[in-house]
């Protein structure tokens, strides 16, 4: 798979900066005041005070808020007051994705009194009558209406969000990369993604726990969260006038309070058992093609991970720019880690790792992430599809099965554009010779007669059946999307198809 800091500088092989390990603070209880401002509602500014610990997830009350002068402000219960209108659709749209609740609603049978475009006219003795749809006034519905309104202007909202953040808190600019073009909207989109799942506690907690742990490597501290919340509310206030109002603002303040506390608690807990990042020395650099290299590193301390997972890398040449890379092997006894890196046009990190990194250089590793791991409690066969450098985690999965000593059928389809791009085929064929339960089939888009061709999804259909297999996919986002559709069509349930986040794969190409 392709690619994904604390502020610091690189002098020789030593990193320094204000967020060093020795300087990390551990706070079991966090108290912060947030000035959720901007123009506010009707020109007013609001302040929120939150005190919480790991066992307490704060919720901002949605029925009462206090103004700057400390007087309680009654939040109207009439949904039409303050711009909370029902005219905007409740769906989050493709840019933000859909929440589980929306997916469930989409499967409900249509009411005879309603069409996909609104209420149906029902003829009575007095003439046609239109039934009004009951309005959903839950916090989750208010959040989704706001997101539906800003979706068409997402770029403007994102730009305004960061402008507010850096203007009001210029000290936070150092936590972000010098060039914001590739990572500009990740934080904002993460906040909106979390808000989309505000009514799904389990999904929200899982997502934010991983996010909170991962943000430690950027040097994020508890006191930074109020500033982000302030900028978020300010951006939404400006660009969502149709759906914004006291009740909607209260819903967003409550959602962000929950989001930030889950992330703070996750980071605090993770600080007790793992560093924010690992320093790793490059000990091996092997060019496989003119633009693909296998980079092997030795972490400065034990690095626990599972086969099929990935991490984030930061190079000394591009501080604060992190990219995702999958581990190319199962955990090794010598503690070394390997990555397959393909240099892409204008790819800062990938080109640095392929064409600049050499043994002796020191890079940084973030924590491991990803759930594309083998379930060793079952005997199901494994169907593994790897395209390009996506063969790296597939190879790790094969080694993992071999280490566990079970004879499980594993079928690997290794795809590339041309025969010359199958840079790791010899390694995979040697594994096949050593393990009779493993089958490796190379697939090329354009190759000589005798090789499987036509793309992985089409070729996989020629074999099988696969309905009893667990599927693992790694490669370019387009290949994964097509393969998922094809596998579902062949009878593999979606819960048995595993791959990394498409969004993270898209962000991993530089």
Q: Which pLDDT band, with edges at 50, 70 and 90, does 447 fall under?
A: low
Mean pLDDT of 485-500: 91
CB 252 within 8 A of CB 232: yes
Spatial CA neighbour of 391 closest among 434, 425, 368: 425
Mean pLDDT of 343-370: 95
Mean pLDDT of 210-237: 93
201-214 and 186-196 are packed helices; what angle lies between their axes, rounded to 10 degrees? 160
Element spanning 32, H or E:
strand 30-34
Spatial CA neighbour of 412 closest among 399, 26, 176: 399
Any idea of the CA torsion for 41, 44, 45, 46, to the nearest 10 degrees?
A: -70
Q: Average the pLDDT over each of 28-42, 446-460, 483-497 and give the range with the smallest value.
A: 28-42
Q: Name which residue leads in pLDDT, 340 or 454.
A: 340
pLDDT digits (tens, 9 = 90+) for 28-72: 333 333 344 333 333 333 333 333 333 333 333 333 333 333 333
Beta bridge partners of 416: 444
């Amino acid at each position: 798979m392709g690619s994904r800091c604390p502020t610091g500088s690189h002098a020789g092989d030593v990193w320094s900066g204000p967020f060093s390990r020795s300087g990390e603070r551990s706070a079991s209880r966090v108290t912060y005041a947030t000035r959720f401002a901007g123009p506010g509602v009707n020109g007013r500014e609001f302040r929120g005070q939150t005190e919480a610990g790991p066992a307490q997830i704060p919720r901002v009350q949605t029925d009462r808020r206090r103004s700057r002068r400390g007087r309680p402000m009654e939040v109207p219960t009439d949904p039409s007051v303050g711009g909370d209108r029902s005219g905007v659709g409740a769906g989050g749209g493709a840019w933000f994705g859909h929440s589980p609740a929306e997916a469930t609603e989409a499967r409900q049978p249509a009411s005879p009194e309603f069409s996909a475009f609104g209420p149906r006219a029902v003829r009575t003795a007095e003439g046609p009558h239109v039934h009004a749809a009951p309005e959903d006034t839950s916090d989750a519905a208010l959040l989704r209406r706001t997101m539906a309104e800003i979706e068409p202007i997402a770029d403007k909202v994102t730009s305004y969000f960061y402008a507010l953040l850096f203007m009001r808190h210029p000290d936070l600019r150092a936590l972000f990369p010098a060039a914001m073009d590739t990572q500009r909207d990740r934080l904002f989109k993460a906040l909106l993604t979390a808000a989309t799942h505000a009514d799904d506690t389990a999904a929200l907690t899982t997502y934010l726990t991983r996010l909170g742990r991962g943000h430690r490597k950027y040097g994020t501290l508890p006191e930074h969260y109020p500033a982000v919340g302030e900028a978020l509310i300010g951006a939404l206030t400006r660009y969502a006038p149709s759906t914004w109002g006291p009740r909607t603002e209260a819903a967003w303040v409550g959602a962000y309070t929950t989001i930030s506390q889950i992330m703070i608690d996750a980071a605090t807990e993770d600080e007790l058992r793992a560093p924010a990042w690992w320093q790793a020395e490059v000990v091996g650099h092997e060019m496989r093609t003119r633009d693909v290299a296998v980079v092997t590193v030795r972490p400065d301390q034990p690095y626990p991970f599972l086969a099929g997972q990935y991490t984030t890398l930061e190079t000394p040449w591009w501080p604060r720019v992190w990219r995702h890379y999958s581990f190319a092997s199962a955990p090794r006894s010598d503690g070394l880690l390997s990555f397959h890196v393909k240099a892409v046009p204008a790819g800062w990190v990938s080109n640095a790792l392929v064409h600049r990194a050499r043994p002796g250089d020191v890079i940084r590793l973030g924590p491991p992430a990803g759930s594309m791991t083998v379930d060793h409690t079952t005997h199901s066969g494994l169907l593994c599809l790897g395209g390009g450098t996506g063969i790296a985690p597939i190879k790790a999965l094969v080694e993992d099965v071999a280490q566990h000593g079970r004879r499980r059928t594993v079928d690997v389809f290794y795809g590339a554009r041309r025969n010359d791009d199958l840079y790791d085929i010899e390694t995979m064929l040697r594994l096949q010779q050593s393990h009779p339960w493993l089958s490796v089939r190379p697939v090329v888009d354009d190759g000589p007669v005798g090789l499987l061709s036509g793309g992985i999804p089409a070729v996989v259909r020629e074999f099988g059946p696969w309905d009893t297999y667990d599927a693992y996919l790694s490669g370019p986002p387009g290949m994964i999307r097509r393969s998922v559709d094809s596998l579902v069509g062949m009878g593999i349930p979606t819960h048995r198809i595993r791959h990394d986040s498409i969004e993270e794969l898209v962000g991993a190409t530089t």
